[in-house]
Amino acid sequence: MVEFVQHVINGLSLGSIYALIALGYTMVFGVLQLINFAHGDLYMLGAFIGFYTSQWLHLDDNPGISSLLIALGAAMTGCALAGYIIERCAYRPLRHAPRINVLITSVGVSLLLQFSGQLFFGSDAKFFPQLYRPSGMIHVGELTINPIQIIVFVISLGLMIILQTIIMKTRTGRAMRAVSFNHELAALMGIPTDRVISLTFMLGSALAGAAGVLVGLAYPKIEPLMGVMPGLKAFISAVLGGIGNITGAVVGAMLLGLAEEFLVGYWAPTYKDALAFGLLILILLFKPTGLLGTKATEKV
């Protein structure tokens, strides 16, 4: 029983990181109907921005929440900027091109980020500075909880609530929802669609950047190709929950985090990376719209 609860805690902590990345996928898919393959690599970029910021400001000399927030802020700002540049230079010119061309471009951007990452950051793994050093484990009965897991979970949750507020309560959020509902119609209604799309990219990228720093905190090894797998898994989470659906992305991510943790804990650790894809195929077979998705019909 203790072991079970332990796995649940680990799973939720992992799931909350997937969720942060999945949100960006689902938001971009919402406004552009595009799988932004480069999104996972923005998360890598976030981790490295966090890394270099901490090094530059010597943040690990006085660890604590404030240092963590500084690194987090830097990564989120940097990634938002990168997201803006990518959208502006690579995707916007292709707004009226066939969808497959945009998809190919996003694969190109992804490869570019990964391998220019190797060029600039070096291809070997780096050790992420310990921005927050817990004094010890928290013991609840027989349960041992790493405070870092709680921090990761709480920060992710906080960011998700902020995002939800932006989307549901602000004018910008309303514009985003309008654009994702119908591009041309939104443009006709006087919504600056290009600006809204840029903003969506920036928001999504910022969340990915935050995920990068949080991952650095929890699993301190970072390297330029680290974004590939979590990126794909986050995308799968978004599909599991119903792509385009914000709540769905979070639910899907938590489920995937838990499923992976249980697979590793109880059954076959070597198949961890294959699990997500297996789940993807299952969901596509039985409920292609995702757990919380609704069916959309193409207009004829």
Which residues in this chain contact another protein in the complex, by CB under 8 A? Answer: 34-35, 90, 93-94, 97-105, 107-112, 114-116, 118-119, 123, 228, 232, 235-236, 239, 270-271, 273-274, 276-278, 280-281, 284-285, 288, 297-298, 300
Please say which residue, 1 or 100, places its beta carbon nearer to another protein.
Answer: 100
Minimum distance between the CB of residue 286 and another protein, rounded to whole angstroms? Answer: 9
Minimum distance between the CB of residue 224 and another protein, rounded to whole angstroms? Answer: 10
Please say which residue, 103 or 166, places its beta carbon nearer to another protein.
Answer: 103
Complete DSSP assignment for 191-215: --HHHHHHHHHHHHHHHHHHHHHHH
Report the distance separating Cα 49 and Cα 71, nearest Å: 8
Minimum distance between the CB of residue 205 and another protein, rounded to whole angstroms? Answer: 18
Report the distance separating Cα 56 and Cα 50, nearest Å: 10
Please say which residue, 1 or 119, places its beta carbon nearer to another protein.
Answer: 119
Q: Residue 143 burial (CB < 10 Å; 0-12/13-18/19+)?
A: middle
Minimum distance between the CB of residue 253 and another protein, rounded to whole angstroms? Answer: 15
> Which two three-digit tokens encode residue 203?
């928001």
Please say which residue, 58 or 95, places its beta carbon nearer to another protein.
Answer: 95
Minimum distance between the CB of residue 87 and another protein, rounded to whole angstroms? Answer: 13
**CB contact burial 267-288 (16+ within 10 A = b; e otherwise):** eeeeebeebbeebbeebeeeee
Please say which residue, 62 or 297, places its beta carbon nearer to another protein.
Answer: 297
Minimum distance between the CB of residue 247 and another protein, rounded to whole angstroms? Answer: 19
Spatial CB neighbours of 60, under 8 Å, sequence gap ≥ 6 = 54, 67, 129, 130, 131
Task: Find residue 255's DSSP bridge partners.
Answer: none
Please say which residue, 37 or 51, places its beta carbon nearer to another protein.
Answer: 37
Report the distance separating Cα 54 and Cα 79, nearest Å: 16
